[in-house]
Amino acid sequence: QCGVPEPFDATRTFKLYIKGADAADATRLEAAVSAAGLEYERVNRIAKRDFKGAFIFINIFPESMEYDEGYAIWTDPNGVSITAKTPAGAYYALQSIRQMVEAGEWQTGLIVDYPRFEYRGALIDISRHFRTVDFLKRQIDMMARVKMNRLHLHLTDAAGWRLEIESYPRLTSYAAWRTPHDWKGWWYGDRQFVEEGTEGASGGYLTKAEARELVAYAADRYITIIPEIEMPGHSDEVLAAYPELRCTHAPERQGDLCIGKEATFEMMQAILDEVIEIFPSEYIHIGGDEAGKGDWKECEDCQRRMREEGLESVDELQSYMIHRIEEYLNARGRQIIGWDEILEGGLAPNATVMSWRGEEGGLMAAEAGHKVVMSPHGYCYIDAPQDAPYSQPESIGGYLPLEKVYSYDPAPATMSEDVSKYILGVQANLWAEFIVEDWHYEH
């Protein structure tokens, strides 16, 4: 509900009273008031007469509404009262205020708003082309402005490993560096890595301190960073750094981890131990997509594993790995989320599915009582051209105008409630094979 737009003097100094938030959340909310372009003076109480002057009153109390991230804003030409169940809700209220301030059009009256989905995500791929911490912070800022709350960081892939791991240092001293700067030159060239410090080497990785800094920066904006550690496919860079873990020990590059060798599990578990120490996210993304599975058919270790575990197909072999990793993470209080290929060979009991090849995987998972994030490529892969392809920078192909992205409904009215109740939300993915420069990323 909105009243008529009225002029609003945003240049005054507002009395800011924040009630019901602890010191950390109050600081976050103050920062959002500032970012909205409003001057303020923090006060410890607000009197009746203050409501006649310029005021911002933020009141957080759990009984105020049903929705965790919802808010109500009551505005008049003097000021704003915000009521929310949680600090995140109040933060979103301030994003709406910011929109009004920037538009210069002040809606007086009552606004009540809450998100339809608890998961509102974006994926940033820093494997194909590495990005700086400052760049990532800028994207987090943009996400916060539009009330998105999950940043899925694609940290590992064939083109480079991007997170410091102390127990396996060659992941970043070697598998994070290459000489052709652009992915295309590398992918269609020799696909080799070089030692860190090599002249002309391009790439990089997040140190643990940098990753923690990003986690905190995102948390200050009510965004959770979900790290993705790909397995067993899309792992060429892992095997380039640790070739002894290849199935066949052949010198050719291999993309899938060997599931027959215990050393693979020792490595992935040690990596995950370090990952969960950095990222407090309940969800850890374990990839699971596009494994070739061919090497497993030739590998003695993989074949032995299949015999010993009674696995009848390589799909079941992948599923065996995902089950084991799920158990490992569940025992440490975390949940796995993976691309929809983790359905093949049998879904791990507590897994959440990210449906990318379309919606079918997500629907199958939801029907089986698993949580789902919808990210079908036809609507959510925003690395496609957004206008007439000849007018756009080089991209992976396709055609995806903004209108089509916005038209996507992950849980339309035609979906039965038995299924839609498992749809956590939606995610847009910006893969970066063809996105070399920052401007293109932001385009």
- Which residue, 89 or 227, is less far from ligand ACM as judged by CB? 227
Nearer to ligand ACM, 17 or 381 (CB): 381
Given 113, 182, 290, 438, which residue is catalytic? 290
Residues with Cβ within 8 Å of 58's Cβ and at least 6 positions away in sequence, in order, are 16, 17, 18, 19, 21, 29, 82, 84, 90, 93
Q: Does 183 bind ligand ACM (CB under 6 A)?
A: no
Nearer to ligand ACM, 92 or 356 (CB): 356
- What is the distance between the alpha carbons of residues 55 and 86, in angstroms, rounded to a whole number? 20
Please choose which of ligand ACM, Zn ion, none residue 299 contacts, taking the beta carbon within 5 to 8 angstroms, the exact cut-off set by kind.
Zn ion
Q: 425: helix, coil or strand?
A: strand
- Residue the block writes with tokens 């089950």: 323
Q: Is the dihedral of CA 24, 25, 27, 32 positive or negative?
A: positive
CA–CA distance, 16 with 18 (Å, rounded to integer): 6
Encoded tokens for 142: 């943009």
Least spacing, CB of residue 267 vs ligand ACM, in Å: 22
User: Between 90 and 286, whose beta carbon lies closer to ligand ACM?
Assistant: 286
Provide, rounded to whole angstroms, the least separation between the CB of residue 201 and ligand ACM: 27
Cβ-contact 379, 404 below 8 angstroms: yes
- In angstroms, the CA 246 to CA 261 distance is 9
Residues 246-305 that bind Zn ion (CB under 5 A): 247, 258, 260, 299, 301-302
Task: Say which entry of Zn ion, ligand ACM, none residue 356 contacts (CB below 5 to 8 A, set by partner kind).
Answer: ligand ACM
Asked whether position 289 contacts ligand ACM by CB under 6 A, the answer is yes
Shortest distance in whole angstroms from residue 315 CB to ligand ACM: 17
Active site (annotated) includes residue 290: yes
Catalytic residue among 234, 285, 323, 377: 234
- Answer yes or no: 234 catalytic: yes
- In the bound state, the residue with its beta carbon closest to ligand ACM is 289
Strand 119-125 and strand 150-154: the pairing is parallel
What are the backbone dihedrals phi and psi of residue 63, each rounded to the nearest 5 degrees, phi first? -85, 0
**Can you tell me which of 30, 68, 290, 409 binds ligand ACM, judged by CB under 6 A?**
290
Phi (first) and psi of residue 242, to 5 degrees: -130, 70
* Residue 356 engages ligand ACM in binding (rule: CB under 6 A): yes
- Residue 301 Cβ vs Zn ion, minimum distance, rounded to whole Å: 5
Secondary structure class of 328 (helix, strand, coil): helix
Strand residues in 61-103 grouped as ranges (E)? 71-75, 80-84
Q: Which of residues 83-142 bind Zn ion (CB under 5 A)?
A: none
If the CB atoms of residues 339 and 422 are measured against ligand ACM, the closer one turns out to be: 339
Binding residue for ligand ACM, selected from 8, 339, 422, 441, defined by CB under 6 A: 339
Question: Rounded CA gap, 187 and 174, in Å?
Answer: 17
CA 69 → CA 8, 33, 66, 114, distances in Å?
A: 26, 18, 9, 6
Name the minimum Å distance from CB 247 to Zn ion.
3
Task: Output 164 or 256, the one with its CB closest to Zn ion.
Answer: 256
Taking CB within 5 to 8 Å according to partner kind, which of Zn ion, ligand ACM, none is near residue 290? ligand ACM
Residue 177 contact partner, candidates ligand ACM, Zn ion, none, CB within 5 to 8 A by sort of partner: none
CA distance 104 to 342: 48
Q: Is the dihedral of CA 83, 85, 87, 91 positive or negative?
A: negative
Residues designated catalytic: 157, 234, 290
Q: For binding to ligand ACM (CB under 6 A), which residues are involved?
A: 289-290, 339, 356
